[in-house]
């Protein structure tokens, strides 16, 4: 296996951690499933989340039981189809290796060698979550925060006065480019309000396509000439630009946030009112609030406030108002973060998720 150092031509082992007994772990407590298998052969189509759920009660405990540091959480390109994850029940730990040759089917008798980390990112490495579901959300501006709208370059004129632009057409743009040459075109949509404060924290954005700089403004002019590189929808005067972001890392290990986070669901992609497994939502917390890619939050229906008719009424004859506990309904995998907004993929739910539902650090 070219991504691992080996000392034997017959077997490549990688010892990733020596776990402390789970009962002695610091909160949150991570436990193996009682029905966890002795081994799991990694196959194409597996995800880190699926494999973690095979062994653990809580998949977000994955980094804890593997003893991963922050760098390894952010870049876990070390599991490939054909490898085997062994569950050493006596030691309470997992080991990663290759399938054994005939006659070498007892991993406990094999000499284990430390894993040597490499930076080679194999295209076949197991992803964290299904990549096809989140692909459009990794680079396209489907949510724009308020500060991105201020001063964003904009199309103010089109080639030959055309109403709409297509691939290859020229667009004339005003605004600061910041040294960038490739831009995404978007049209701001409905405002997104924080479910708690009711303040506008961003806008839905309709992705229209991309522009490529042809000629930057010169000689005191502030007019830049662009060419339409791609057109997903019709674009024209008034539409705004943002620089094409660098391709984000997609393969982060599921883990709890580094600090306590409590958020609310702001919007559900597609304009629907309820969301289920493998649907995408946005929440009102982002990287400045302690979230990073791969962070897992628990989803709750916010407890309703009801009247307690069994309690003694107030001096004014009113029944006491009591808030019911929040009810856990699933988990959310954060795969893209902005300053105060994040995209999350619903991994598993027991009830539909709604705008205003709570998303907070695992307990």
Stretch 293-308: mean pLDDT: 87
User: Which phi and psi (to 5°) does residue 168 adopt?
Assistant: 90, -15
Stretch 234-241: mean pLDDT: 94
Residue 239 and residue 154 in one domain: yes
Of 101, 126, 151, the position where a domain reaches its end is: 126
> Is the pLDDT score of 20 beyond 70?
no
Q: How far apart are CA 249 and CA 48, in angstroms?
A: 15
Q: What residue has token string 């789970």? A: 22
Residue 222 and residue 195 in one domain: yes
Query: Contact at 8 Å (CB) between 266 and 355?
Result: yes
Q: What pLDDT score does 249 carry?
A: 58
CATH number at residue 296: 2.40.10.410
pTM of the model: 0.72
**Residues 6+ away with beta carbon under 8 Å from 11:** 97, 98, 100, 101, 104, 110
Lowest mean pLDDT among 63-67, 107-111, 144-148, 200-204: 107-111
Residue 307 and residue 216 in one domain: no
> Is the pLDDT score of 163 beyond 70?
yes
Residue 273 and residue 347 in one domain: yes
For residue 22, what are the domain limits? 13-126
Query: Contact at 8 Å (CB) between 235 and 163?
Result: no
Domain count of the fold of the chain = 3
Which carries the bigger pLDDT value, residue 133 or residue 58? 58
> Is the pLDDT score of 132 beyond 50?
yes
Q: How far apart are CA 328 and CA 293, in angstroms?
A: 22
Q: What pLDDT score does 230 carry?
A: 93
Whether residue 253 lies inside any domain: the answer is no
Residue 151 and residue 232 in one domain: yes
Q: What pLDDT score does 315 carry?
A: 66
331 burial level (CB within 10 Å; 0-12, 13-18, 19+)? buried
> Is the pLDDT score of 131 beyond 50?
yes
Burial per residue of 249-262, b for 16 or more beta-carbon CB atoms within 10 angstroms, e otherwise: ebbbbbbbbeeebe
Q: How far apart are CA 59 and CA 81, in angstroms?
A: 19
Of 90, 107, 126, the position where a domain reaches its end is: 126
Of 73, 105, 126, the position where a domain reaches its end is: 126
> Is the pLDDT score of 177 beyond 50?
yes
**H or E segment at 137?**
helix 131-139
Residue 33 and residue 99 in one domain: yes
The percent of residues in the chain predicted with pLDDT above 90, rounded, is: 30
Residue 111 and residue 144 in one domain: no
Q: How far apart are CA 85 and CA 56, in angstroms?
A: 13
User: Which phi and psi (to 5°) does residue 322 adopt?
Assistant: -125, 135
Q: What pLDDT score does 270 carry?
A: 74
> Is the pLDDT score of 351 beyond 80?
yes
**DSSP states of 251-280 as a string?**
-PPPB--SS--EEEEEEETTS-SEE-TT-E
Whether residue 7 lies inside any domain: the answer is no
Whether residue 356 lies inside any domain: the answer is yes
> Is the pLDDT score of 24 beyond 60?
no
Stretch 236-247: mean pLDDT: 87
Lowest mean pLDDT among 25-39, 166-180, 266-280, 293-307: 25-39
Q: What is the CA radius of gyration of the chain?
A: 25
Q: How far apart are CA 165 and CA 225, in angstroms?
A: 13
Residue 101 and residue 63 in one domain: yes
Name the token pair of 225.
């000439």
Whether residue 4 lies inside any domain: the answer is no
Name the token pair of 44.
């194409």
Lowest mean pLDDT among 57-71, 95-109, 125-139, 208-222: 95-109
Stretch 192-221: mean pLDDT: 89
Residue 113 and residue 155 in one domain: no
Q: How far apart are CA 348 and CA 342, in angstroms?
A: 18
User: Which tens digits make up the pLDDT trace of 315-325?
Assistant: 666 778 888 88
> Is the pLDDT score of 362 beyond 60?
yes
| pLDDT confidence tier of residue 98, bands split at 50, 70 and 90 | low
Q: What pLDDT score does 109 carry?
A: 35
Q: How far apart are CA 43 and CA 132, in angstroms?
A: 17
For the chain, the average pLDDT equals 78
Q: How far apart are CA 300 and CA 326, in angstroms?
A: 6
Q: What pLDDT score does 239 carry?
A: 95
Whether residue 272 lies inside any domain: the answer is yes
């Amino acid at each position: 296996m070219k991504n691992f150092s080996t000392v034997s031509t017959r077997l490549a082992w990688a010892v990733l951690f020596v776990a402390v007994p789970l009962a002695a772990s610091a909160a949150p407590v991570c436990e193996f499933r009682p029905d966890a298998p002795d081994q799991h052969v990694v196959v194409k189509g597996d995800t880190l989340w699926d494999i973690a759920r095979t062994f653990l009660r809580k998949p977000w405990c994955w980094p804890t039981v593997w003893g991963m540091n922050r760098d390894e959480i952010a870049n876990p390109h070390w599991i490939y189809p054909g490898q085997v994850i062994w569950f050493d029940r006596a030691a309470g730990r997992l080991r990663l290796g290759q399938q054994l040759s005939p006659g070498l089917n007892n991993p406990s008798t094999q000499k284990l060698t430390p894993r040597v980390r490499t930076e080679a990112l194999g295209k076949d490495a197991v992803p964290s979550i299904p990549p096809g579901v989140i692909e459009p959300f990794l680079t396209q501006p489907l949510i724009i925060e308020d500060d991105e709208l201020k001063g964003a370059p904009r199309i103010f004129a089109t080639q030959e006065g055309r109403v709409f632009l297509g691939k290859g057409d020229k667009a004339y743009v005003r605004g600061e480019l910041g040294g960038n040459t490739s831009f995404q075109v978007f049209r701001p949509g409905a405002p997104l309000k924080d479910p708690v404060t009711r303040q506008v924290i961003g806008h839905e954005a309709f992705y229209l396509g991309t522009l490529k700089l042809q000629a930057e403004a010169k000689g005191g002019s502030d007019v830049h000439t662009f060419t339409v590189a791609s057109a997903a929808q019709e674009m024209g005067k008034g539409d705004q630009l943002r620089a094409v972001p660098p391709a984000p890392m997609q393969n982060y290990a599921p883990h709890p946030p580094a600090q306590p986070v409590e958020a609310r669901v702001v919007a559900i992609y597609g304009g629907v009112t309820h969301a289920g497994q493998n649907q995408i939502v946005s929440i009102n917390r982002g990287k400045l609030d302690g979230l990073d890619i791969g962070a897992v939050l628990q989803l709750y229906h916010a407890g309703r406030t009801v009247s307690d008719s069994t309690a003694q009424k107030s001096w004014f004859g009113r029944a006491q108002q009591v808030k019911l506990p929040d009810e856990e309904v699933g988990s959310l995998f954060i795969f893209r973060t902005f300053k105060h907004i994040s995209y999350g993929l619903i991994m598993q739910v027991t009830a539909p998720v709604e705008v205003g539902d709570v998303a907070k650090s695992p307990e």
